A and B are shown apart, each in its own frame.
Chain A
Amino acid sequence: MSVIQILIYAAVLVFLVTNITRFIRMASTPIHLRWELYPVAHDVKRFKYGGSFLEESDWYTKKLHKSMLGEIRVMLPEIFLLKGVWEYNRSLWLWSFTFHIGLYLLTALIFVLILGGIIIGPNIFNVEAGYGSLSTIGQIIHSLSYAMLIAGCAIGTIGTLGLIIKRSTDREMSSSSSFGSYFNLFFIAAIFISGLVFLFSGSAVDKLIKCYYSLITFQPMPNLGAAFAVHAVISGLFILYLPFTHMTHFFMKYFTYHKVRWEDTPNIRGSKLEKKIQEQLSYPVTWSAPHINADGKKNWADIATEEVKKDEK
């Protein structure tokens, strides 16, 4: 097995394990106090103007409906069109949008190539050697891959370079940028640019399909040339690196939107939520300001009900 192949396996493994662990960790943090921010997307009726069930004087007597579809309807343009950036930061939008579209296309290409590896992988060596031809579906996958690769890398390069220029010239952005902020952008630019170089080195899609075929079947990867090697190493290293950065926001947005900004579930007596809260109220507290009166043994509820207990005495 080649070094590149080992690197890709390791990267994918680390990517999956780290991201899944991060997801599980975030999902298992305690239920927090309500901290919603309106408009809340699952309240379809009131989303347009930002209203909530609290606009009714008898809200507590009614069953609350949450529309998952409502949330999806808001998230799709947010993810694919960067609606928030369009609305609130127009001068950044073009660069951010092209940057993200480039990444989306290359990510989608992975799945197309997996399919390609399975469907035309076994045949690609024969075709190259002059025997047989690709099936219609094979040809579609081949052409689609080519289009995605060229579009993804070209659009992504424009976006990333635009972001680098914007970040370094915009007063607000440059003031809060660190070495890491630029490093990430240059890293991603390297993926796109090396992708373009690889593309122009010839037979890029054939090479990619061979690569995926080898990866899927655990067979040694043939030598696919220097341009491929450079692109594959940079991409592999990036996949390895991503789970340790803020870029995990691509899935953490599930929490920031669904679990915080739109999390408005009221606490109902006798509910599962109430039980969970009661459990958390029994967590011991060690804050050390004198007015808290914590000793590491008293729990949250003991401290918060101190005044009530004083009255009872």
Chain B
Amino acid sequence: MKSRVKIEDISKPSKKLTHLDIDDLMPLPPPYDKIEEQPGWKALSEDALENLETSLDDTIAIGIPKPKTQEEEKELVKKFLSGLEKLLTRENNWTFLQPLLLSLEHCAKCQTCTKACPIYEASGKQDIYRPTYRSEVWRRIVHKYLKPGGKFFGRLSHGDIDLNWTTVARLMELSYRCTLCRRCAQTCPIGIDNGLITHELRKVFSQEMGIAPKELHEKGSVLQLEVGSSTGMNAEVVKDNIEFIDEDMKDLTGIEVHTPWDKEGADVLLIHNAGEILAWPENPGAFAIVLEKAGISWTLSSDIAAYDGINYGLWYDDFQLGRVAIKHAEAAKKLGVNRIVVAECGHAHKALTVIADRVLTGDFNIPRVSAMTLLEDIVFSGKIKFDPSKNDFPVTLHDPCNMVRLMGIVEPQRRILRYLCPQFREMEPHGVDNYCCGGGSGFAIMSGHNFQDWRLAVSGRMKLKQVIEAFDDHPEPETKKYLCAPCSNCKGQLRDLFRYYGVQEKSGIIYGGLVELIVNAMVDIKQPFINFDEMQ
């Protein structure tokens, strides 16, 4: 066991607060158990070490430039503190004030939550990744620096901490070592939410200090609001791409589909995560086939942001979240659709359906439903004929945290899989107790410096273990197996995870969405829709 890192150590300048070795990490099941065969992580470049804040651990998620002068450091610390203060006011933070205050005041420090955290467990229980570590740092700062008499009472009752630039820079990075999966919150007997605290800290850094990982901000929500999608596709490009996909679907399945754009008065406005269109075109293609075959009146929208369901603000900035959600709702309002259906993207589900629910008022408040439920209706409607024997290979299901633990959409996808996949089996734990894929809260799209290595070696480790164990009756690579992950971000993480560990070669497992399994089981499709050899 490594030497302890105490809460107050975060303020003490050193080269690294924690250093991880591969053999510290949670062991993996065979054939991934040999430490010498595990890829590990690249060292940070000299340039990064020299110019960026790298003193938390072995990686960086944000890449905060080192302040040049002490004045600059002081200014940043001051800003951080003013942000913390705003976080505790009704006007600036009505969105989360109540749950935040509850989490500020009532933690019993029992550490029940620590056992639930996949990052803490997978890291071999490194102190700084404990769900309560960053929460305690925050609590101590608030009690010492923002409460009357805090320098004496706050210190005494909550413990000491020094607020300096080292503390702020490390805390900033540390707020990106948690996937906001909220598994810890689920186990807290009091109802304290360490995931929420991480979320709120990220907000201080973004909303007050203007600091966030560029993949989430500049290349994420900002690009989406400017161009239409974080993929950089404008409306013309996305339409072209969908046209290609329609053609491919015809070649592959013989079924002619014409994805409708901007159809006024349609029943359903379907919103995909636009990443699907580029990375997994068979997913939007399969949606088009199923919706057409079921006779659903549907459309896509070519309005800015409305052809991309992502909403990265969910993870770091309430205002970016609100702006994007309003653009989604506006497109639906303009077309006069009855409902928005969010396709296979977990965070898009939660952002638009649940979190933005109390932002969208008046005629922006258009019903939002999950594609899981629409697909279930279609599969059991009798409008499409299925032959489940076409899916007669081992299938397991990954539960995206946003869709399942945080929205309670648990059964529709399972009812489909139990019906269409004779060898469906659950991984353990599953449903609302699932483990995050390790790519949650933006990690799946964050790959700067060596962050990708960290998210695959550490934050995705628990998921890999679960997946391998779900198929332990058929470990041989010759038996083709399917991991169903009805979420774009999870798929992004799984794609990287599978490549990193060579899962397809070593275990014969591929990953994909839910709708692909539905199309694969359709009687009308002559050749398999899911191609185990081509998928990657």
Contacts and interface: CB of A to CB of B under 8 A. Distances in A.
Are A and B interaction partners? yes
Interface of A: 26, 29-40, 43, 46, 49-60, 78, 82, 84-85, 87-89, 92, 96, 170-173, 175-181, 183, 245-246, 248-249, 252-253, 255-257, 259-261, 264, 266-269, 273-274, 277-278, 280-281, 283-292, 300, 303-308, 311
B98 A78 contact: no
B95 interface: yes
Contact of A26 (B102, B186, B353): B102
Of listed A38, A53, A171, A274, residue having the most chain B CB within 10 A: A38
Contact of B196 (A35, A170, A305): A35
Contacts of B469: none
Interface in B381-435: 404-412, 431-432
Nearest to B406: A37
A285 to B, nearest CB: 6
Contacts of B360: 267
Interface size class of B (residues with CB under 8 A): 35 or more
Nearest to B203: A287
B526 interface: no
B361 A267 contact: yes
B99 A274 contact: no
B2 to A, nearest CB: 11
B373 interface: yes
Interface string B354-368: 111111111101010
A30 B98 contact: yes
Interface stretch (B29-37, B154-162, B451-459): B154-162
B237 interface: no
Contact of B108 (A50, A171, A246): A246
Interface in B239-267: none
B132 A176 contact: yes
B365 A274 contact: yes
9 contacts: A33-B96, A85-B189, A170-B111, A173-B111, A176-B7, A274-B362, A286-B92, A307-B326, A307-B327
B189 A78 contact: yes
Given A37-B405, A179-B157, A249 B370 contact: no
Contact of A289 (B209, B323, B353): B209
B189 A82 contact: yes
A253 B189 CA distance: 9
A307 B410 CA distance: 34
B6 interface: yes
A172 B327 CA distance: 45
A168 B339 CA distance: 55
A306 B323 CA distance: 7
Interface of B: 1, 4-7, 79, 82-83, 86, 90-92, 94-99, 101-102, 105-116, 125, 127, 130, 132-133, 136, 156-159, 182, 185-193, 196, 206-210, 217, 222, 225, 304-305, 318-320, 322-323, 326-327, 330, 339, 353-363, 365, 367, 369-370, 372-374, 376-377, 404-412, 431-432
A99 B367 CA distance: 48
A256 B106 contact: yes
Q: 10 tightest A-B contacts by CB?
A: A256-B191, A52-B408, A178-B159, A180-B157, A304-B322, A50-B432, A84-B189, A30-B94, A289-B210, A57-B373
Contacts of A60: 339, 367, 369
A249 B97 contact: no
B213 to A, nearest CB: 14
B346 to A, nearest CB: 13
B130 A88 contact: no
B32 to A, nearest CB: 27
Contacts of B185: 37, 261
A118 B72 CA distance: 68
A177 B159 CA distance: 8
Contact of A49 (B7, B322, B411): B411
A286 to B, nearest CB: 6
B191 A171 contact: no
A70 B5 CA distance: 42
A43 B97 CA distance: 25
Contacts of A273: 358
Nearest to A276: B358
A219 to B, nearest CB: 37
Contact of A175 (B6, B192, B304, B359): B6
Contacts of B363: 269
B377 A269 contact: no
Contacts of A308: 326-327, 330
B217 to A, nearest CB: 8
A266 B111 contact: no
B191 to A, nearest CB: 3
A85 B97 contact: no
Contacts of B158: 178, 180
A172 B127 CA distance: 8
A300 to B, nearest CB: 7
A98 B191 CA distance: 21
Nearest to A177: B109
Contacts of B6: 175
A248 B105 CA distance: 9
Given A181-B109, A256-B191, A311-B304, A32 B369 contact: no
B411 A288 contact: no
Given A33-B95, A170-B111, A290 B408 contact: no
B401 to A, nearest CB: 10
Contact of B373 (A35, A56, A176, A261): A56
Contact of A287 (B207, B361, B407, B432): B207
A278 B185 CA distance: 29
